[in-house]
Chain A
Amino acid sequence: MGFLDNIQVMLGKKQIDEKPAVSAQNQLKKKILVVEDEKLLANALELKFLHENFEVFKAENGQIGLEMAQAHTPDIILLDLMMPVMDGKTMLHQLRQIPQFKYTPVIVLTNAGEIDNVRETKFYDNASEFLIKANVNPDDIVKVVNDLI
């Protein structure tokens, strides 16, 4: 493992036996999956990340999110929590059972009312980051995404 990998392990952002990131180096565009039921917000994120030269996939609930993840193997997932059919917490839990997605970085985006214990959320099922939608700008999200992949 390289020096940077070690730092990432220390920061808790990487597991020691993580498989090396495949897609980032091999493909031209990074892939991002946006799992969000509010169309306005999903479209804003899509616009932003297309502009940042990402390939963007959208899912409007956790169920579709799982399907999309398996179909397209995104490098990173933006995950809303409150969604119909299957919510974010359930989807994340199921996602982590799939070996391929055990370590995929997931950023939880929420408007936070749904979760009471903010600290607890950050660590459930190894979510990499936890952001409150109304308090961040799209470019902040881009920055966090780029830091994680």
Chain B
Amino acid sequence: MKRSLPYLLLTPALLFTAFVLCYPLAQNLVNSFRDVQMVRGAGAWTGLTNYRHVFADREFWLALRNTAAYALGGTLLALAGGLAVALLLERLSAGTTPLMTSLLSLPWVISPVVAGFAWKWILNDHFGILNAWLAGAGIAGPGTSWLGNPRTALVCVMVARAWQFYPFAMVMFLAGLESIPSEQYEAAAVDGASAVRRFLAITIPNLRPVSSVLMLLGLIWSFNDFTMVFVMTRGGPIDASMVLPVLVREFSFVHFDFGKGSALSIVIFAVLALLSAIYLRVLTGRERA
């Protein structure tokens, strides 16, 4: 009894995981090798046909490029923003830091749907506050279209994504900054190192483990992000901001071709699994160090 108790206690959680995670995943994998149309139901086994259709689709390659740009650009922007704000917060007096940190963390706790709609209105060409500010400063005329321009739409969604993710990076960087031994800075000051030199030679190397974890988490979460893109642009204009999760919806719920949609989601799963494996490797390497 004593030996089996842990397994017994684990059973509900394992059953729950099997039901809500393993079963849908396995079913999705099965569907990706079958012709599954909503009206006709699951049809014949088609081998790799769905995967061939996915890779032959011009939208897939466009969405893959956009997803990579969105994930990489959004994450880098968020990390840069998070680090900048963390450095500023570190210099604030200890009394104000918690309040400022809480206020600056608000984007992280706002629902992505709400954030997406808010950004959509901020960027609205005729009624948005961004154009009002830019017009006031004489930089751009009112009516400049940000989300309606295929050249700027993806960048705008990327900025919105970075805005949502930067508080997480900020908190992590703040913790990382606090863990840097002050002796290192004192020794550098004695040696006459400038502020820039101290930042490059002490701060950045000490933050490298945090940065790599943040980078991987940011890539994984952004690669899988559906909400922000769907709310702000639905993948438009003219597919300019089409990303893979939105394309899965197109295949599955516009064409109702669940076989092709499943195949694409398995491709996304494979990419995310690879990123997660790298993440775990980085994390365990850090713990060993």
Do these two chains really belong together in a complex?
no
